Structure 1
Amino acid sequence: MDGAGACILLASAVAMLASCHKVCFIGSEYDPQAGIPLRWFLPYKVPCECTAVRLGGTHIPASSYRQGAPHYLKELFLTETAECSSPEALGMEDGTIPDDHITASSVWESTNYPGCCPPQKGRLNSDSIWAPSSNPDSWIEMDLATSTVVSGVITQSLALGKFNGYVTMYKVAFKKQSTSQCEHVRDGNGNVKLFKGNTDARCTPVTNMFNESVVASVVRIEPTEWHVWVRLQLELLGCRRN
């Protein structure tokens, strides 16, 4: 193949890649209907046309990015890869995740142990434990406040008098943004992953790492099997983004 032919072939390949790969730059502008608050937008009416989303700038009029009718968003999101080479504790045990960012499906109330078991006690190595009032469909949820790479979970239980129990199997759900739909962490075959939990109530930690890290701002642990009662302490593992 001569030089001219190679250049034509290369140009055709570049044109083909450009036609199927659309990096969308997300921008923000003042919302004329709401006044001062900013609104985020993508340049395409159908966001699925974007194969990647990167930050374009703030206080930019939508017309600067418009290839078609813009798609407006309530929150900023970017398509960054979920890379975390050295996962660390994300703040359940040390309190980096504040109490008001931890919620649960319900809380067990005990006359023998008043105030013992709110979700805020579901921190790893806490002096108590989270316990729901109803085991089926129970969950505990952590709002990480910002987009965070989550790579795994540590769980354990705690003997509480005669009220011993522990989670033996659970699922992990997450939201990319607080307003997003819940998704579940999946296994290598694309099925919802069931993680093996604890086998005793003696504060023995069990660590489970995901097949692939996920980017999330909200994480929810959903017990599916348990011994006697759902009783849980936990820590999330991953990487905070600066």
Structure 2
Amino acid sequence: MVSCHQVCFIGSEYIPQSGIPPRWFLLYKDPCECTAIRLGGMRNPASSYSQRAPYYLNELFLSEDSDEIKTYFTCSRLTTVRTATAECPSPAPLGVGDRAIIPDDRIRASSSDCCPAVWARLNDVSSGWSPAIFDNNAWIEVDLVESTVVSGVTTQGHYDWYVTEYKVVYKKLPSSDYEPVTEGNGNVKVFIGNINGNTPVTNFFEESLVATVVRIETIAWVGEVTLKFELLGCRRG
């Protein structure tokens, strides 16, 4: 589950040559994660916004009421409100955006094209990190060195390029294997990312985790993979 407000935008798709009438779609595969659905005004093919199938609707549906959304889409009544944990009652930035806290050599990526991993600092004036164009399993990670309580992630894109879905994996110790952040049922959690290249989006984990390394694995994106980010949590001790 995500534990922050998730505003979802609905767009209209019309491809004249296809012979298919105009139809509405959400960029999110699971509308049950939306706490508000607003009109996005898009008329491009839905496939151009994500590498995963969009969610098509038979009619225009807009709402600012999460309960109404759950009723409309027949969602289960799982809570999406984050509660403070004993490990980290007040999550704060862990320093990805500050070179004095996390130096460049502690940010690594699967690959890079024009834009290296060190450009991935949230709100940095750079364009963000972008992997090599043929890297279809792109990831970026931060070495926190010490065991750190991590409670969530804030992501951002750049201009018209941004990541719309991602997973988070982590190491408890430098010698440990990577473990995924999961949902309450044990399934690997797919986080809903950005809806444009400028607005930061924060996702909190259902439960805080203790990690020395945190990796973001990209799943779907608009344009090309472009990412800036910050980790939220608490330093131990």
TM-score, length of structure 1 as denominator length: 0.60
Matched, 1:170 2:169: no
Task: Name the residue aligned to 1:98.
Answer: 103
The equivalent position to 2:90 in structure 1, one of 78, 86, 89, is 86
**Aligned partner of residue 120 in structure 1, secondary structure:** helix
CA distance in structure 2 between the partners assigned to 1:209 and 1:149 by the alignment: 12
CA distance in structure 2 between the partners assigned to 1:229 and 1:189 by the alignment: 32
CA distance in structure 2 between the partners assigned to 1:187 and 1:239 by the alignment: 21
CA distance in structure 1 between the partners assigned to 2:219 and 2:227 by the alignment: 13
Task: Name the residue aligned to 1:33.
Answer: none
Task: Name the residue aligned to 2:214.
Answer: 219
**Aligned partner of residue 187 in structure 1, secondary structure:** coil
What is the CA distance between 1:98 and its match in structure 2? 1.1
CA distance in structure 2 between the partners assigned to 1:199 and 1:108 by the alignment: 23
Matched, 1:236 2:231: yes
Q: 1:84 to 1:231 in 2, by over 3 A?
A: same
Task: Name the residue aligned to 1:122.
Answer: 120
Q: Which amino acid aligns with 1:102?
A: I
Q: Which amino acid aligns with 1:108?
A: D
Matched, 1:180 2:179: no
What is the CA distance between 1:187 and its match in structure 2? 0.8
CA distance in structure 2 between the partners assigned to 1:214 and 1:185 by the alignment: 8
Instruction: Please provide the CA RMSD for this pair.
Output: 1.3
Identity %: 56
Deviation readout 1:96-137 (Å, 9 max, x if unpaired): 11110000000013xxxxxxx111100000112100003410
CA distance in structure 1 between the partners assigned to 2:219 and 2:86 by the alignment: 26
Structure index of larger Rg: 1
Number of aligned positions between the proteins: 150
CA distance in structure 1 between the partners assigned to 2:111 and 2:135 by the alignment: 9
Deviation readout 1:59-105 (Å, 9 max, x if unpaired): xxxxxxxxxxxxxxxxxxxxxx9711100100011221111000000
Contact 2:155–2:202 (CA under 8 A) maintained in structure 1: yes
CA distance in structure 2 between the partners assigned to 1:238 and 1:89 by the alignment: 6
Task: Name the residue aligned to 1:154.
Answer: 154
What is the CA distance between 1:228 and its match in structure 2? 1.8
Contact 1:173–1:222 (CA under 8 A) maintained in structure 2: yes
Residue ranges of structure 2 left out of the alignment (5+ in a row): 1-84
Q: Which amino acid aligns with 2:167?
A: K
Matched, 1:207 2:205: no
Task: Name the residue aligned to 1:108.
Answer: 113
What is the CA distance between 1:172 and its match in structure 2? 0.2
Task: Name the residue aligned to 1:190.
Answer: 186
TM-score, length of structure 2 as denominator length: 0.61
Q: 1:82 to 1:174 in 2, by over 3 A?
A: farther
What is the CA distance between 1:239 and its match in structure 2? 0.5
Deviation readout 1:211-234 (Å, 9 max, x if unpaired): 011100000000111112100000
**Aligned partner of residue 100 in structure 1, secondary structure:** helix
CA distance in structure 1 between the partners assigned to 2:188 and 2:207 by the alignment: 13
**Aligned partner of residue 107 in structure 1, secondary structure:** coil
CA distance in structure 2 between the partners assigned to 1:98 and 1:240 by the alignment: 17
Task: Name the residue aligned to 2:131.
Answer: 132
